[in-house]
Amino acid sequence: MYRVCFVCTGNICRSPMAESVFRSHVAEAGLEDLVEVDSAGTGGWHEGDGADPRTVAVLEAAGYAQDHRARRFRASWFDRLDLVIALDAGHLRDLRALAPTPEAAAKVRLLRSYDPAGTSVRGSGSGSLDVPDPYYGSFDGFEECLELVEAASTGLLEAVRAAVKEHTP
């Protein structure tokens, strides 16, 4: 089993959104028996909570299923994960610092680094590969977050598909 975990700050907005979108892509590709998709937060403020209602609304409007309880990412998880996907540069830095070995740190990548359009997607700012945190903003921020997640998911799926081929005999 190839394991992917998406990580944002509190695990109630961006990472559960990315988890739902990517799980859908994995299922559409027929890889659900080979790829496990999960999410967590760098902090534990919302542990046990469901996804933000605005995240749920955006996902449901776009046809994505979600059933989520927030969790905090633990350093011990690196051993069982193949890929840890950070939603912004701060998460990337924090996760790499948390990694117990250089090999574990190498598993951490930015989600938008898989976006074939790169930084040309609306709202991404000047050269940033971050998915902006929509929590303190308007509903539009959640819709933008979904756009950015969807744009990167296709490229991520291709990378994961290639990695799965390498891992399966």
List, in order of start, the domains of the chain with CATH numbers. 2-167 (3.40.50.2300)
Q: Per-residue pLDDT for 119 more than 60?
A: no
Rounded to the nearest angstrom, the gap between the alpha carbon of residue 39 and the centroid of all alpha carbons in its chain is: 7
pTM of the predicted model as reported, rounded to 2 decimal places:
0.93
Across the range 134-155, mean pLDDT stands at 96
Residues 32 and 19: their CA atoms lie apart, in Å, by: 13
Active-site option among 8, 38, 130, 145: 8
Active site residue 8: yes
pLDDT score, position 53: 97
Confidence of residue 116 (pLDDT cuts 50, 70, 90): confident
The number of beta carbons lying within 10 Å of the beta carbon of residue 168 is 8
Active site residue 52: no
Active-site option among 5, 13, 14, 88: 14
Active site residue 13: no
pLDDT score, position 123: 46
Confidence of residue 122 (pLDDT cuts 50, 70, 90): very low
In this structure, of 5-19, 51-65, 106-120, 134-148, the range with the lowest mean pLDDT score is: 106-120
- Residues 33-84 have pLDDT tens digits of 999 999 999 998 899 999 999 999 999 999 998 899 999 999 999 999 999 9
Active-site option among 72, 82, 109, 133: 133
pLDDT score, position 127: 57
In this structure, of 10-14, 19-23, 44-48, 84-88, the range with the lowest mean pLDDT score is: 44-48
Surface-to-core class of residue 122, CB atoms within 10 Å of its CB (0-12 exposed, 13-18 middle, 19+ buried) = exposed
Confidence of residue 124 (pLDDT cuts 50, 70, 90): very low
